[in-house]
């Protein structure tokens, strides 16, 4: 038996290679995820009806690593699953410049009450299969043909990011055309296993972020047996779609967020990941899974943490997410023209407090602008209100204090911080709570002063009077909001004391002392300004 960890003679077609991988020796999350993907793929291969069947098996699997045993035929059959593809027909509303359509069809459609005839061009395209990812045991949303919203998202990512150029799609194209399995990828892989410790090039096709040479003219290299693992990590990575919603409610996608889990316990990970993913919701928003649409690329990591934690809670109440993964590396990538660009990358650690906070956060906020900044602060462990002064100052007031969604989110954020109208003498005073209550009392008493004692209690039950009260309160809040956002530093302090403090507040002594100290501290004035803008939005 030929061992991959020692120098030996050339491997022949009948030789069997045995390789032991440990998580500790692998250099990146992509390699460790690749090892998990390899285990999944070997298991999937074992369930396929093959004749003749090569040798491809995982002989040892534990928390620290796995041992792979395979021959040349087994390697070919394994890569046939990785790069399996088929021809499918796709319709397009525009004609391709460099290829002829299979046929042209015309359909009658209704658009804004008018009947129109629209022309569609039908083309034959190659579509990656996705192996076990298109299996109902992994994705309950797939149909009998192996199609569904989540596997479609994965296939789109592969075609637009990992294999965006025609030359990079050759392994898929050849298998779709049934030209032959022993293609260049398989030949190179088998040759590399002949010298497993030899350095080989590390192209970006296999390793995200790699390039031919660095700025210092250093070539990206890897060991041959480690590079082999990089065929498999895309099957373990989780794909989401960063997006934003414009003022007209239209969704604009911003590439793909690729979350690569950094596996800590291989055996536990391969047991739990399929169970964590099979329950994903197939509800669509547009043509994407609704749960795949995220505001920040780092949210992709948090979504994966939540799925894993929910699964662990069902099976092993004592286990934590950190027992399963060391962290998640996230790559935000998009295709611009013919080039694929890394728009951002980062790592999120399995912080249980952060995971729980995100689990409460999901679905609670309406405004994409508010949600994005709130989430960014959460991930960076900043106070929830940081940066909102800039947001309120640079955006139109119609998108902040005049927007129902923004006002709702501001109110939700204060409520999450346990702000209450009345606190006991023993409750520690907080700056958020003090500003929130001060703004509320200012608005209530200002409306009463300007409108002959009008209050919510006096108009409750009368729709016309209630609407008048709300309009009056909104106007006063909006005027104060515009005044606060146009002032900074000492000018804001003067505005705050002459406006918000112009009505009786009935404050407790410790509240008065805290707000006074804060307004006198130049480093904290911006915090009061930010909270004032948000409180005016929340209570308007």
Give one DSSP letter per residue of 58-102, joined into a string. Answer: EEEE-SSEEEEEEEHHHHHHHHHHHT-EEEEEEEESS--SSS--S
Q: What is the pLDDT of residue 231?
A: 96
Q: What is the pLDDT of residue 242?
A: 94
Counting runs of H as helices and runs of E as strands, what totals does the chain give?
Answer: 18, 17
Q: What is the pLDDT of residue 316?
A: 58
Whether residues 298 and 326 share a domain: the answer is yes
Asked if the structure places residue 457 within a domain, the reply is yes
Asked if the structure places residue 408 within a domain, the reply is yes
Whether residues 510 and 434 share a domain: the answer is yes
Asked if the structure places residue 211 within a domain, the reply is no
Give the count of alpha carbons within 13 A of 381, CB side only.
Answer: 7
Whether residues 156 and 246 share a domain: the answer is no
Q: What is the pLDDT of residue 177?
A: 85
Q: What is the pLDDT of residue 12?
A: 55
Asked if the structure places residue 205 within a domain, the reply is no
Cis peptide before 52 (omega within 30 of 0): yes
Asked if the structure places residue 375 within a domain, the reply is no
Whether residues 358 and 403 share a domain: the answer is no
- Rg of the chain's alpha carbons, rounded to an integer? 29
Whether residues 184 and 242 share a domain: the answer is no
Helix spans in 253-403 (H) = 266-277, 299-315, 352-361, 368-379, 388-394
Whether residues 108 and 242 share a domain: the answer is no
Give the DSSP letter string of 338-379. TEEEEEEEEEE---HHHHHHHHHHTTT---HHHHHHHHHHHH
Whether residues 156 and 55 share a domain: the answer is yes
Taking the chain (540 residues) in consecutive chunks of 10 residues, what is each chunk's mean pLDDT? 39 76 96 98 95 94 96 93 92 77 83 79 91 94 92 96 92 84 80 84 84 66 92 97 80 92 96 92 90 94 94 76 94 91 93 92 91 94 95 93 95 79 58 93 92 84 88 94 94 94 88 91 94 96
Per the listing, tokens 């027992």 go with 323
Whether residues 292 and 358 share a domain: the answer is yes
Instruction: Give the span between the Cα atoms of 516 and 514, in whole angstroms.
Output: 5
Q: Which residues pair with 93 in a beta bridge?
A: none
Q: What is the pLDDT of residue 128?
A: 95
Measured from the Cβ of residue 214, the count of other Cβ atoms closer than 10 Å reads 10
Q: What is the pLDDT of residue 335?
A: 92
Long-range contacts, 338-347 (Cβ 8 Å, 24+): 338/164, 338/165, 340/160, 340/161, 340/164, 340/204, 342/208, 342/209, 343/254, 343/255, 343/297, 344/297, 345/209, 346/297, 346/298, 347/301
288-289/256-263 β-pairing: unpaired
Instruction: Give the span between the Cα atoms of 94 and 122, in whole angstroms.
Output: 10
**What sign for the dihedral angle of Cα 372, 377, 378, 383?**
negative
First-to-last alpha carbon distance for the chain, in angstroms, is 77
3-class secondary structure per residue, 92-137:
ECCCCCCCCCCEEEEEEEEECCEEEEEEEEEEEEEEECCHHHHCCC
Measured from the Cβ of residue 217, the count of other Cβ atoms closer than 10 Å reads 6
What domain range is 273 assigned to?
A: 235-364
Asked if the structure places residue 52 within a domain, the reply is yes
Q: What is the pLDDT of residue 89?
A: 87
Whether residues 478 and 498 share a domain: the answer is yes
Q: What is the pLDDT of residue 182?
A: 65
Last residue of a domain, one of 364, 384, 410: 364
Whether residues 188 and 310 share a domain: the answer is no
Whether residues 336 and 247 share a domain: the answer is yes
Asked if the structure places residue 446 within a domain, the reply is yes
What is the tally of structural domains in the chain? 4
Q: What is the pTM of this model?
A: 0.87
Asked if the structure places residue 491 within a domain, the reply is yes
Query: Encoding tokens for residue 226?
Result: 């480690």
Residue 331 Cα distances to 160, 341, 344, angstroms: 14, 10, 6
Whether residues 471 and 505 share a domain: the answer is yes
């Amino acid at each position: 038996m030929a061992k991959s960890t020692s120098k030996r003679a050339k491997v022949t077609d009948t030789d069997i290679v045995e390789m032991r991988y440990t998580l500790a020796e692998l250099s990146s999350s992509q390699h460790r995820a690749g090892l998990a993907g390899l285990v999944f793929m070997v298991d999937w291969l074992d369930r396929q009806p093959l004749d003749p069947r090569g040798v491809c098996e995982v002989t040892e699997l534990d928390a620290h690593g796995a041992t792979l045993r395979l021959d040349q035929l087994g390697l070919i059959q394994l890569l046939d699953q990785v790069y399996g593809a088929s021809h499918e027909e796709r319709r397009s509303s525009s004609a391709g410049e460099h290829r002829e359509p299979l046929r042209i069809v015309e359909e009658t459609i209704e658009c804004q009450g008018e009947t129109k005839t629209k022309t569609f061009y039908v083309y034959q395209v190659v579509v990656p299969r996705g192996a076990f990812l298109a299996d109902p045991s992994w994705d309950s949303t797939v149909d009998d043909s192996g199609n569904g919203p989540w596997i479609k998202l994965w296939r789109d990512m592969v075609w637009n990011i990992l294999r965006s150029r025609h030359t990079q799609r050759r392994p898929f194209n050849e298998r779709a055309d049934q030209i032959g399995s022993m293609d260049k990828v398989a030949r190179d892989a088998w040759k590399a296993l002949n010298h497993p410790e030899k350095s080989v090039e590390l192209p970006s096709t296999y390793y995200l972020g790699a390039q031919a040479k660095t700025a210092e003219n250093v070539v990206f290299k890897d060991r041959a047996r480690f590079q082999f693992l990089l065929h498999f990590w895309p099957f373990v990575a989780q794909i989401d779609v960063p997006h934003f919603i414009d003022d007209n409610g239209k969704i604009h996608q911003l590439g793909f967020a690729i979350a690569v889990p950094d596996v800590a316990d291989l055996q536990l990970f391969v047991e739990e990941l399929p169970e964590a993913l099979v329950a994903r919701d197939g509800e669509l928003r547009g043509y994407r899974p609704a749960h795949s649409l995220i505001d920040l690329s780092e949210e992709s990591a948090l979504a994966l943490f939540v799925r894993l934690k929910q699964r662990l809670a069902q099976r092993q109440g004592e286990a934590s997410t950190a027992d399963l993964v060391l962290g998640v590396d996230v790559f935000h990538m998009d295709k611009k023209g013919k080039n694929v660009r890394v728009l951002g990358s980062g790592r999120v650690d399995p912080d249980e407090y952060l995971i729980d906070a995100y689990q409460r956060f999901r679905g609670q906020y309406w405004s994409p602008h508010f949600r994005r900044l709130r989430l960014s602060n959460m991930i960076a462990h900043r106070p929830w209100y940081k940066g909102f002064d800039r947001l309120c100052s640079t955006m139109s007031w119609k998108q902040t204090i005049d927007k129902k969604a923004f006002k709702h989110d501001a109110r939700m954020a204060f409520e999450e911080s346990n702000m209450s109208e009345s606190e006991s003498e023993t409750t520690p005073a907080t700056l958020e709570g003090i500003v929130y209550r001060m703004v509320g009392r200012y608005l209530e008493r200002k409306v009463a002063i300007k409108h002959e004692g009008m209050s919510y209690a006096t108009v409750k039950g009368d729709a016309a009077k209630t609407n008048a009260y709300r309009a009056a309160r909104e106007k006063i809040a909006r005027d104060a909001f515009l005044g606060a956002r146009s002032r900074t530093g000492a000018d804001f302090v003067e505005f705050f004391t002459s406006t918000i403090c112009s009505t009786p507040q009935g404050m407790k002594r410790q509240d008065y002392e805290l707000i006074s100290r804060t307004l006198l501290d130049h480093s904290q004035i911006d915090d009061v300004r930010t909270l004032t803008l948000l409180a005016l939005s929340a209570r308007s």
